Each structure stands twice: as structure tokens, then as C-alpha cells.
Amino acid sequence: MFTHIVQLPRKIKILIMLLCDVILLPLAFWTAIAMRLGTTSPDTSNYEILFVLIVLFTIPIFVRIGLYRSVIRYVDDKIIYTILLGVSLSVLLLTAAVTMGRFITVPRSAILIYWFMATTYITISRYFARGIIRKLEPSEDRRDRIAIFGAGRAGMQTALALFSSKEFLPVAFFDDNVQLQGSTIAGIRVYSPEDALKVIHKKSIKQVLLALPQVSRTRRKEIIQLFDGHNLNLKTIPSFQELISGQVRVEDIRDVGIEDLLGRDIVPPDEKLIQLCVKGKNVLVTGAGGSIGSELCRQILKQTPEILVLVEMNEFALYRIHQELTRLFPYIKIKPVLGNVVNKEQMNRTVKEYSIHTIYHAAAYKHVPLVEENISQSILNNVMGTWSMIQAALANSVQHFVLISTDKAVRPTNVMGATKRLAELTIQMYAKKGEASTKLSMVRFGNVLGSSGSVVPLFKEQIKAGGPVTVTHPEVTRFFMTIPEAAQLVMQAGAMAEQGDVFVLDMGESVKIVDLAVKMINLSGFEVVNNETGRGDIAIEYVGLRPGEKLYEELLIGNNTSQTNHPRIMKAQENFLEYSYLKDKLEELQKLCMVNDTASILKLVKTLVPEYQMAEHHNSSKN
């Protein structure tokens, strides 16, 4: 019988609960009178009308306060407050009815007993119904059992969203708040994090969801490490900024990313700095379809520029970012320009047409192995493209020009790094000449998580395919930063520029790539294969360093650095080449690229960037 009731439509279940209340309310009043008079057969013939009135004015109250809107299967402790409110209003109306109707035979103290009995009966009925429904619910066992870390508002909303999903069944909360521990929220018990592993084992939980949108990154890292190595799939909800609407959806839940393990909190941006070069200005971003370029565009548009010009040579990438930005910022003029930064005439025309105030130059070929195999085209794009954009900026009196550089430009061991160092030198060449009205600067930083050139997307694909995860060398390390943080720091650094400044971002501690691989495997709920026992799910294989690849990256060429007003931005003092000398060499380099004379190109690059250590296959090349 109960199984049949559980499968009834929701409206029928609500009607059943309403009918139960129609019976329980008069029963509570009768019980109160019987207890007051000390008899099981009290004489109520003089005020039988009150039993009808109680139902007539209490049921509408219950409907009004939303008692019948709650889903019985998910009721929690909060329903007690709703019932108390409804019964209290019922008692007030009952007292008024007894007084105005002059029902002198009704014991006045019975009304207080009625308040207690009605609250008890209605509450017990809800929890009794919840217990039956949960026990007989046929679909529960087929869903993945999940624990939620964070029993606050976000956690509660997440639990309610998951209850209606067909994939997950929340069965436990973990929370640092001692006052919440031991309580029940949305019908789920809240446990201390100290008991997490024991509860997970007892309840056969396979996934843990972090509902901690406001927690510090340091604490988030500690929580993730608590579950490390226990074959648990960790997921998380979006950040606090993404939850402004106050609504959590199942589709917003994502796997815990490696960015959650960086272990340092983002410094809130200085609003004055981040707005200085973009608010109300005409801004141009090259490489607008790339990972850094596209994030720069998003951050710029948040500061309401007058116009944003997107320069991108990849048609699909330009289409995609233009569609996204126009959807998110329909009130700002956004102009897509399909073009190549090497095309000096087009770039000059574009900068002039839109009266650009600020340029962020993010366009570059950055995949180290591909650049090693396509030297001429990479130098044309990375070096000559930068030269072209600087000339366009100077010719049109652009106020700020900011180059997005890389840690690979420091003592480069690959062509990509050497081209970026040459791009830096090109900027310094004009800055030191002393005639530029444009404030020229560059911002140097390491890898950004999730970029097209990052190992993170590669590792995700390899894990999804079942492995193996390929690492170049057991000792290789890299600096990492999230894309939004990098973009914000670039904007702030550019605003602090005076002339020819080399800004270096504080990337925190370097990360061993093999440790990164292990963490990503564990976060996905898998175990790394043990080479000795053969046990595990996904293997890690070492494939050797690629041509021109370093074991570790550096951010500074020398030790001459100074701190700026921003805790995450430093300024470096580095060598530069004189304008007349470098200009002639750049023209020579451009001609060599046009005829693809690789040997001469590398020789000239080595002359201009003496710190450049060519890869072995270049040293042995005869071309």
C-alpha cells in the first residue's frame, strides 16, 4: 500500500497530507481537553463547533505559510518553524473564537495544551511520511551517493538541486562549523570533517562536492588534500561571484580543477589601476581569440570601455569570442577585425580608424614544439608582429601599449622564448630612444591553467581516455596562475607603466609536473598505477624533454628587481639594445625569414639574444 502511495503524483500526495491535517488538528484539540480534564471521554457537546472551526481557519493558514509547498521527502529541521508559526496563529484564532463565542465550558489551559499537541502531531506526521517515502523510493539506489562539504546556504541549495537530479543522491554534509555539526539540513545529517573518511566508508560514498564558494584557496587546498588518495571523485560548485543569483544548478557543478590546489588566495584587484587604461577608453586586443586574449577581453568589458576592438587571425576563434562577448555585454560596442598583426598597413589603419587609446598585444605563436619546427613564420608573427603593432601605436599616439610576454623569454632554450625576448627588446628599443609618447611596457609571467598550451587540458584528455598520462621528465617544474588572475594583473601592471617597464608577476611556488599529474588523476577518482605492484587505474609515463624545453622556468634575467605598489607585481631592470643597431638587425631578420634561411636566422637571433641556448637539433642543423 505504502509503495503505491509513494508513486502517486505530487498533487495527490499534497491532498493526502492536507486530509491528514484535517484529522490531526481536531484530534489535537480533543487530546488537549482530555488531558486537561483527566478523562478519556470528555463532554464536548457544548462546543463541538470549535472542532470544525479549527480546521476551517488552520488549513488556510498552513496553505498561506507554504507548509504544503515543501516536498515531504526533503523536509528538514526548518519545517518545525513553519509548523510552529502555523499552529501559533491557529491558537490565537481559537482563543478569539472561544472568547467571542463565550464557550465558558472550554478549559482555558486546554488551549495551551492544544498548541503543544497540534505542533507534535503535525511534525510527527511529516517526519513519518518522509521516512516511509525515503525507504520505499525506488530510484535512490541507482544514483551515485555523494557527500557535500559545506552546509551553508550554497550547500543547502546544492542538495535541493541534486535531490531532483537523476545522477546524484546527497547523503551527508561535512562542515567546519561546530554549531551545525550533528544537525539535519534538507534531511541530511551534518558531520565534522574529522569524521569524513569514516562516514564516506560507512555510507559507500564515491563523490564529494565542495559547496564552498567563499572559502579561501588555502582552506580549499587543505580540504582537497583530506580526501587525496581515497579514490574519490571531487567536484565543486562555481565561485561566489558566479552565484550572485543565489541559485545553484546541477549543470553548474564541475570537477575540482588543479587551480583549486594552487594554495594561495587571489589579491583583489585595485579598482583604480584596473580601470585606468580601459574605462571609457577605446581598447584593442590582439590575439583576442586565444586563452589570455579572450580573458583580457572579458575583464576589459567589465570596466565598460567605449569600444573594444578584437584583432584575431583565426576566423573561428574570432567568431566564437565575438559571439560570447556581444551576448554578455550587449551595451558595449565590440568590433571584430580579422587580420594578422604582421600586416603593418592593416594594423595602422585599424588603430587609426578606432582612435585606440590602449593596446594589449597578446597575439603570439606559443606552442614550443610547433615553433621549433616553423622558425621563420614564428619570428614573423612574434617579433615582426610586435614591431608592427608598436609602430602603429606610436604613429597614432596610443596612450598605453602592453606586451604579454612569458617566462620562457628568460635565458631561452627554445625559439619561442627567444622570439618573446626579441619582442621585449623591440619595445625597450623604442622606450629607451626617449621619443615615444606612448607608454610602452611588457608583462612577463608563467603558464596559465587551462590555456591552449597548458599541460592541464592534455592531462584531462589522457585521464578521460584511461591513460597513460605523459610527463616529459620527473623533475620538470613550472609556474602556474589562473587565467582571470593573470589578465587582471596584466591590466593593473600596464596602468603602472612609465616607459619601457618590464613587469614580472608573482607566480607563487613552482609546481612539479609529475605532482600535477598525480593530483589530477586522484581528483578524477582514480589511482595512479604502482610500477612495483601493477595496481592502480592510470599510469604515468615519462617521454623525455622536448626540443628546447627546460626543466624549470625563470622569471628574471638578472637580480635587479623592485617591488611596485601591488603585492603581486614586480618591476625588473634589464639590458636593452640601442635603437639604431636593433632596428637594422630586425630588418635583416625579416628578410632572412622571407627566404626561410633558418641557419642564418638562428645565428642572428643568438647574436641579439646572447642568453639563448639553441636546442641540439638546431646546433646540428645544416639548413
Q: Which residues are catalytic?
A: 408
Chain center to CA of 150: 17
Residue 354 one-letter amino acid: Y
Phi, psi of 188 (to 5 degrees): -120, 135
C-alpha to C-alpha distance for 113 and 32, rounded to whole angstroms: 5
Which residue's entry shows cell 613552482?
Answer: 510
3-class secondary structure, 212: coil
Residue 84, judged by CB atoms within 10 A of its CB (0-12, 13-18, 19+), counts as middle
C-alpha to C-alpha distance for 110 and 129, rounded to whole angstroms: 28
CB 322 within 8 A of CB 293: no
Stated as kind and residue range, the H or E segment containing 400 is strand 400-406
C-alpha to C-alpha distance for 26 and 162, rounded to whole angstroms: 37
Grid cell of 307 as nine digits: 569600444
Q: How far is CA 62 from CA 13, 56, 116, in A?
A: 16, 11, 16
Phi, psi of 206 (to 5 degrees): -110, -15
For CA atoms 256, 259, 263, 267, give the dihedral sign: negative
Order of all β-strands in the sheet with 144-149: 184-185, 188-191, 168-174, 144-149, 207-210, 233-236, 254-255
C-alpha to C-alpha distance for 557 and 425, rounded to whole angstroms: 13
CA angle 427, 299, 455 (to 5 degrees): 75
Strands 307-312 and 282-286: parallel
CB 510 within 8 A of CB 477: yes
